[in-house]
């Protein structure tokens, strides 16, 4: 039996070697191509509904690259998308801030057509702005708005924008986290920060993506791409020039829609408030501490304001808003701003080592101060 197996192995080896030599001999003498050509892609090939290619193809005509230039000639590039058929474009405040006072704005569509635009309203705290095309084309197609409250971690995302000026760029990823507290700055236009309870995505987002849409797997807008975590910096913001490391943040569209409606209606943002100043330090992680001294000559707790009516006092540490854990002042602000004036929220706070809960009806502040 062993001898038979050995003989078979020798024969198989010999056959294999012979075939190998034959193939090598033919290859030396063959000058023809050995590649295999794929069938031609049909000119009328239709991408499957729900595919990234189909969603991108449908959305790109409604996304614009925004060029903003200040009166002194300084400028930058960002992104926006068609909000309605009247020519309103939704974007970030930090994209258009340089052109807000006597500057120039230009919106370029994916087909290359350019339109002059003007600022309708800005909300520095939300980092949301609405601009309007001066000569509105009649074939505008607003992007459909989704429901950011129903987004789940792991959902597919598609980001469209102009990273580093490369217009009409499409990237994909997933929702990495929800309700991520993010503080960002416009990089020097006003020196003021914006606060958001953001959608986090690993879709590649870079400077120039700011103001562009973050789409879900159906092609509906679920957020406005606004900030990144740069690899070379400890801060958050969209103004740095480092590349994406998979940490991008978007303003939930439900919040952005409310802000846009207010800006279109009055030109001014409206912020929900509790009527108390809180520390903006984020190091402790123990909660949001109501300041013992107000800014300037203001009281730390507004007399007869929501916090005052609820019995809150300077030094109280707010640890939860409804079911959301509050680890800092910026987190509290971001969570409050997901609501509207008049909403009732439950605050959990600590005073003298004891925990208390109280219902607070949010007040309002008009405009950026």
Q: How far is CA 86 from CA 132, 138, 281, 353, in A?
A: 8, 9, 42, 55
**pLDDT of the residue at 240:** 45
Task: Please check whether residue 247 is in contact with residue 231, taking contact to mean a CB–CB distance below 8 angstroms.
Answer: no
The tens digit of pLDDT for each residue in 186-230 reads 655 556 789 999 999 999 999 999 999 999 999 999 999 999 887
Give the contacts of 137 (CB within 8 A, at least 6 positions apart): 87, 113, 115
Fold of 148-258: Thrombin, subunit H (2.40.10)
Percent of the chain as helix, strand, coil, to the nearest 5: 20, 35, 45
Fold of 52-133: Thrombin, subunit H (2.40.10)
Neighbours of 136 (CB within 10 A): 15
**pLDDT of the residue at 195:** 92
Superfamily of domain 269-366, CATH level 4: PDZ domain (2.30.42.10)
148-258 and 269-366, same CATH topology: no
The tens digit of pLDDT for each residue in 129-144 reads 999 999 999 899 999 9
| Rounded Cα distance, 271 and 336, in Å | 9
Statement: residue 113 has pLDDT above 70? yes
- Give the catalytic positions in this structure: 94, 127, 210
**pLDDT of the residue at 191:** 60
**pLDDT of the residue at 101:** 83
* Mean pLDDT, residues 233-259 taken together: 75
Mean pLDDT (the chain, rounded): 85
Domain borders along the chain are 52-133, 148-258, 269-366
**pLDDT of the residue at 85:** 95
Q: pTM, whole model, 2 decimals?
A: 0.83
The dihedrals phi and psi of 126, each to the nearest 5 degrees, come to -85, -15
Complete DSSP assignment for 39-108: PPPPTT--PPTTSHHHHHHHHGGGEEEEEEE-TTS-EEEEEEEE-STTSEEEE-HHHHGGGTTT-EEEEE
Q: What percentage of the chain has pLDDT greater than the value 70?
A: 81
Statement: residue 147 has pLDDT above 90? yes
* Mean pLDDT, residues 55-74 taken together: 91
């Amino acid at each position: 039996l062993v001898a038979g197996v050995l003989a078979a192995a020798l024969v198989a080896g010999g056959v294999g070697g012979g075939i190998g030599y034959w193939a090598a001999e033919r290859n030396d003498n063959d000058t023809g191509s050995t590649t295999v050509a794929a069938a031609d892609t049909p000119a009328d090939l239709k991408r499957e509904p729900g595919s990234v290619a189909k969603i991108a193809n449908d959305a790109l005509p409604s996304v614009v690259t925004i060029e903003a230039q200040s009166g002194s000639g300084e400028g930058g590039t960002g992104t926006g998308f068609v909000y309605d058929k009247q020519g309103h474009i939704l974007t970030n405040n930090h994209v258009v801030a340089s052109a807000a006072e006597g500057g120039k704005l230009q919106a370029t569509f994916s087909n290359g057509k350019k339109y002059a635009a003007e600022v309708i309203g800005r909300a520095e705290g939300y980092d949301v702005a609405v601009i309007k095309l001066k000569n509105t084309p009649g074939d505008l197609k607003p992007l459909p708005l989704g429901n950011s409250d129903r987004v789940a971690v792991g959902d597919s995302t598609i980001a469209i924008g102009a990273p580093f000026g490369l217009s009409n760029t499409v990237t994909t990823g997933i929702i990495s986290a929800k309700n991520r507290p993010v503080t960002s700055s416009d990089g020097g236009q006003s020196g003021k920060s914006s606060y958001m309870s953001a959608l986090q995505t690993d879709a590649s987002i870079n400077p120039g993506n700011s103001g562009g849409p973050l789409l879900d797997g159906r092609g509906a807008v679920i957020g406005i791409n606004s900030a990144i975590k740069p690899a070379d910096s400890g801060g958050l913001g969209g103004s740095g020039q480092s590349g994406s490391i998979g940490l991008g943040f978007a303003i939930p569209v439900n919040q952005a829609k409310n802000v846009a409606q207010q800006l279109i209606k009055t030109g001014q943002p409206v912020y929900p408030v509790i009527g108390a100043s809180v520390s903006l330090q984020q190091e402790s992680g123990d909660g949001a501490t109501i300041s013992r001294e107000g800014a300037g000559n203001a009281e730390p707790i507004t007399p007869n304001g929501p916090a005052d009516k609820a019995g809150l006092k300077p030094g109280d540490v707010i640890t939860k808003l409804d079911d959301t854990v509050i680890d800092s002042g910026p987190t509290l602000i971001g969570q409050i701003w997901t609501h509207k004036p008049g909403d009732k929220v439950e605050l959990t706070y600590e005073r003298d080592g004891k925990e208390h809960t109280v219902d607070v009806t949010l007040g309002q502040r008009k405009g950026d101060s």
